[in-house]
Amino acid sequence: MPGEKTEQRKAEHLKICAKGDLGKITFTNKTTGFEEIDLIPSALPEISKDEVELETEFLGKPLAFPLIVSSMTGGCKEAGEVNNDIASACEELGIGMGVGSMRAMIENPALAYTYKVRDVAPNIFLNGNIGVSQLKGMDLEKLAGALNEVDADALAIHLNPAQEAVQKEGTTDFKGLAKEIERTVKKLSAPVFVKEVGNGISRETARLLVQTGIQAIDVSGAGGTNWVKIDAMRGKNTNAEYLYEWGVPTALAIVEARSVYNQTILASGGIRNGLDIAKALILGADLCSIALPVLRAQADGGKEGVVEYLTRIQGELRTVMFLVGAKNLNELKDKKIVVHGKMREWLKQRGKG
Ligand SMILES: Cc1cc2nc3c(=O)[nH]c(=O)nc-3n(C[C@H](O)[C@H](O)[C@H](O)COP(=O)(O)O)c2cc1C
């Protein structure tokens, strides 16, 4: 049956990520870099924590706080339930989400139901998703049709060369793909943004992306979920260990992308609490996205588990903003930081571009 392999891969990914040993699916030594950043505490913030404003927007849709749940799944039976739980949690909280790669539903339209969440989430920001290497020669009418069918507000195109390089069935011909992104932007009526999957966007990549006309970049840096490890393990590729620490740490990817890109930047890859979000925004991001912990919260507690986890993150961001004396996100972005260690060294060597 068309798409059967993709469907099976999606189910395996979900199983490994929802319940697998964290040490096997995240980085061992490389970190996001956020731990090397200090915010400047205010012992007299002169604001009330309850009045801190967290609202923002993404591609025209309001967000109650600066977070979306990253693209994860769709295309297998189990994914339908995961997407529904996450979507209804996002609807309740007033934030957005992405569904995972729509390749499976394009190959086999009978799987479309696993991506459809509008019944439970009529108002949220919702993005569709496709891998950049799928774009080559793709009939974009089909992609537009898939986006329409799930009623997505935007398309996220993911860049994942390291993941593809360790997959047995991976696509490693990335020639001409910037042009393919540009062709997609021109063809679709929905806005398009680009994301990595946990190995990060460098300044040079961001510069290439500027020319494609995309409307946002999610840097998805190193320090969180590690797709090189996951796919090497899944495919029993014992020759991938040398790439286990590959990538631009998330904190640095934000700075690198911001040095050349002046539209919306999302930070993801190991964002795990409200302090990480605050640091990401000060470094130059406009909002953040989180994948793995949301999936695990869903696996443990369904929709309520996701609501509980994301409410905790929202509360943490509010607390940190109170502690630095920021009444709203614009004030937060203007706060000063101190950068230590390896992160400082990277910034010194890479300059401002
Ligand atoms: C189970 C799972 C499936 C994922 N599938 C996709 C996908 O289909 N498309 C995509 O762009 N990213 C996918 N990702 C990557 C995430 O969107 C995100 O970029 C990455 O996991 C880093 O964020 P994290 O450290 O918060 O997990 C997936 C992540 C997880 C955990």
Secondary structure (3-state) at 107: helix
pLDDT in tens, 109-149: 999 999 999 999 999 999 999 999 999 999 999 999 999 99
Q: Are strands 192-195 and 126-131 parallel, antiparallel or unpaired?
A: unpaired
In angstroms, rounded to a whole number, what is the distance separating the alpha carbons of residues 209 and 218?
Answer: 12
Backbone φ/ψ region at 75: left (φ over 0), alpha (ψ -120 to 50), beta: left
The answer to whether the CB of 13 is under 6 A from ligand 1 is yes
Residue nearest to atom 29 of ligand 1 (CA): 72
Q: What is the pLDDT of residue 353?
A: 58
Neighbours of 50 (CB within 10 A): 7
Question: pTM of the entire structure?
Answer: 0.97
Q: Which fold has domain 4-345?
A: TIM Barrel (3.20.20)
The answer to whether the CB of 87 is under 6 A from ligand 1 is no
The answer to whether the CB of 158 is under 6 A from ligand 1 is yes
Q: What is the mean pLDDT of each run of 10 residues along the chain (353 residues)?
A: 72 92 96 98 98 98 98 95 98 98 95 97 98 96 98 98 93 97 98 98 98 98 97 91 97 98 98 98 98 98 98 98 98 98 96 69
- State in Å: Cα 100 to ligand 1 middle: 8
10: DSSP letter: H
- Index of the ligand 1 atom closest to the CA of residue 158: 11
The answer to whether the CB of 335 is under 6 A from ligand 1 is no
**Burial of 242 from C-beta contacts in 10 A (0-12 / 13-18 / 19+):** exposed
The answer to whether the CB of 270 is under 6 A from ligand 1 is yes
- State in Å: Cα 197 to ligand 1 middle: 6
How many residues are there in the chain?
A: 353
Q: What is the pLDDT of residue 9?
A: 82
Tokens at residue 165, please? 């390089």
Q: What is the pLDDT of residue 168?
A: 86
The answer to whether the CB of 114 is under 6 A from ligand 1 is no
- State in Å: Cα 318 to ligand 1 middle: 26
Residue nearest to atom 30 of ligand 1 (CA): 72
- State in Å: Cα 343 to ligand 1 middle: 24
Q: Which of 71, 86, 271, 295 is the pocket-test mutation for ligand 1 (most atoms within 8 Å of CB)? A: 71
| Annotated domain spans of the chain | 4-345
Q: What is the pLDDT of residue 12?
A: 87
Tokens at residue 52, please? 């801190």
